[in-house]
Chain A
Amino acid sequence: MLRTGGSRLVAPGLRRLLGPSGREGAAPGLSAAGVRAYHERVVDHYNNPRNVGSFDKDDPNVGTGLVGAPACGDVMKLQIRVDEGTGKIVDACFKTFGCGSAIASSSVATEWVKGKQMEEVVTIKNTEIAKHLSLPPVKLHCSMLAEDAIKAAVKDYEAKKAKVGDSPAEKVAEA
């Protein structure tokens, strides 16, 4: 999927966006026939995804974001582990079943959220992820998915904390 997609979808102009890196020529998948491939960062994250895995979703310090894009039937799970005292995200992981862009977007997202405050990560925009990976327009929804997954994970964590805050009262009520 990754390669066939890339050959058709990446507009020539997009590759120019990555000017600063200055490494365009080294992009793998650029065949002799001049077939355009995904940006090397997508390929890198696809081949060596960072932070793949799962945390216990019932752990009170873990927030889970589970989102999907019906266009390709993708599923993306992004989890954060939060330090209760500081509200800092100490660890993050993801599991994505989808195309190369979706995998790369969620991989980047986990890297970006680590070590940051929750209120900081909810401001991460899909356009930043898309720009970082030079995603073609048809793949922008993959970066959108990653943005939504971060937000959903933070929301889940906050909902959990709110629940934990309530539960002692419930216990009293039950007793």
Chain B
Amino acid sequence: MWRRAGPIRLHLAAIAGRRIRPPPQPPTPQATFSSSASSSSSFHHNLGAFRDSIGARSRSLSNQTGGSGDGECWSCGAKGVFLSCGSCRSVQPVDPAVDYFRIFGLDRGYNIKDNNLEGKYKDWQKKLHPDLVHSKSEKERAFAAEQSALVIDAYRTLSKPLPRALYLLQLEGIHVDEEKTINDQELLMEMMEIRESVSDSSDSQTLEKIQSQMKRKVETWSNSFQEAFDKGDFDRAVEATQRMRYYERAMEETVKKL
């Protein structure tokens, strides 16, 4: 899932650039990272360079879109169209500046509870699905294929806490290198014990107990993520995503055995 982010990261460049931050602020997060070498090695923080490289592009983007992010329909010229035209129903080309939260009409943030993501997802697919435009021009069919895929990615990313957390970090310009070996002995020792007890237990009662423990731990670390992320403490936010990944993994194992 995280890997899918490849093409999205290009969009992100534009998004990050469009976000308006007071110029004096940018150095702050970077200072946070250099102060804690141990955990900063687990991911690359490239916010500074990121912003520099996209500055020019972001300006031209906001000119194009008139600042609102919504464009003009390529087919009928209607203003303020988003993904699909409200007047002529033509599917619009993918706008790289649109982030997943906007697709679902949400403010960018971790806590998106009770927002009927699935319903909104289905509504979009009723407008964007490639099957709906099979008789239209090749151009529009291509738009529909891309938009529809984008909405699927958006739904998959936002509907689960961990991908949503990683996506938010990505929007901040933080790439978590999940392939890097970690040495957090406390976590690893705990995980070794949990995974051993999962593999050793065969009765559903024990497995269910472990499962609910893992669920609670995922929730606890999910809350820690939100807290850390909101404060801009990205080291702790990244740590929280790692914890979530491990406890979720253990939970999956119990599911397999139950």
Binding site for B on A (CB under 8 A): 66-75, 77, 95, 97, 140-141, 144-145, 148, 152
Q: Which of B179, B180, B191 is close to A75, meaning CB atoms less than 8 Å apart?
A: B191
Q: A73-B245, A73-B246, A75-B195 are in contact. Are A68 and B187 (CB under 8 A)?
A: yes
Task: Show 23 A/B contacts (Cβ-Cβ < 8 Å), sorted by A.
Answer: A66-B189, A67-B181, A67-B183, A68-B181, A68-B188, A69-B178, A69-B179, A69-B181, A69-B182, A70-B42, A70-B178, A70-B180, A71-B179, A73-B246, A73-B248, A73-B250, A75-B246, A77-B192, A97-B253, A140-B179, A144-B179, A144-B181, A148-B181
Q: Is the CB of A66 within 8 A of B188?
A: yes
| Size band of the interface chain B makes with A | 20 to 34
Q: Interface 1/0s, chain B 23-60, versus A by CB < 8 A?
A: 00000000000000000001000000000000000000
| Interface membership of chain B positions 187-202, coded 1 if the CB is closer than 8 angstroms to chain A and 0 otherwise | 1110110011001000
A75 to B188, Cβ gap below 8 A?
Answer: yes
Judged by DSSP, the binding face of B is helix
Task: Report Cα–Cα, A74/B252, bound state, in Å.
Answer: 12
Q: How far is the CB of A78 from chain B (nearest CB, A)?
A: 12
Which residues of the other chain, B, contact A95 by a CB distance below 8 angstroms? 192, 196
> Given that A144-B181, A145-B181 are contacting pairs, would A70 and B192 also be in contact in the complex, using a CB cutoff of 8 Å?
no
Task: Determine the chain B residues whose CB is within 8 A of the CB of A74 once the complex forms.
Answer: 249
B residues in contact with A152, CB < 8 Å: 183
Q: Mark B139-180, 1 if CB is under 8 A from A, else 0.
A: 000000000000000000000000000000000000010111
Q: Which residue of B lies closest to A151 (CB)?
A: B181
Cα(A97)–Cα(B256), bound, Å: 14
Question: Do B185 and A66 have beta carbons less than 8 Å apart?
Answer: yes
Closest Cβ of chain A: how far from B198's Cβ, in Å?
9
Tell whether, in the assembled complex, residue B178 and residue A97 are in contact, meaning their CB atoms are under 8 Å apart. Answer: no
Residues of B within 8 A of A66 (CB): 183, 185, 188-189, 192
Closest residue of B by beta carbon distance from A152: B183
Residues of A within 8 A of B192 (CB): 66, 75, 77, 95, 97
Q: Give bound CA distance, A75 to B176, whole Å.
A: 18
Cα A104 to Cα B179 in complex, Å, equals 17
Name the B residues within 8 Å of A70 (CB-CB): 42, 176, 178, 180, 182, 241-242, 245-246
Query: Nearest Cβ in chain A — how far from B229, in angstroms?
Result: 17
Q: Which A residues are in CB contact (< 8 Å) with B123?
A: none
Contact of A68 with B249 in the complex, beta carbons under 8 Å: no
Best-buried of A69, A71, A140, A148 by chain B (most CB within 10 Å): A71
B184: CB under 8 A from chain A? yes
Determine the distance from Cα of A75 to Cα of B242 in the docked complex, in whole angstroms. Answer: 12
Give A95's nearest chain B residue, CB to CB.
Answer: B192
Please report the C-alpha to C-alpha distance between residue A97 and residue B249 in the assembled complex, in whole angstroms: 10
Chain A residues whose CB sits within 8 angstroms of the CB of B180 once the complex forms:
69-70, 141
Q: How far is the CA of A69 from the CA of B191 in the complex (A)?
A: 12
CA distance A77 to B196 in the complex (A): 12
For residue A75, which residues in chain B have a CB less than 8 angstroms away from its CB?
188, 191-192, 195, 246
Closest beta carbon of chain A to B14's beta carbon, Å: 27
Q: How far is the CA of A83 from the CA of B253 in the complex (A)?
A: 37
Residue of B nearest to A146 (CB): B181
CA distance A67 to B184 in the complex (A): 8
Closest A residue to B42 by beta carbon equals A70
A-B contacts besides A67-B183, A73-B250, 12 pairs, CB < 8 Å: A66-B185, A67-B181, A69-B180, A69-B182, A70-B176, A70-B178, A70-B246, A74-B249, A75-B192, A97-B192, A140-B179, A148-B181
**Bound Cα distance A148, B183 (Å):** 9
| Contact A73 to B249, CB < 8 A, known contacts A66-B189, A97-B192 | yes
Q: Which of B179, B184, B195 has the most CB of A within 10 A?
A: B179
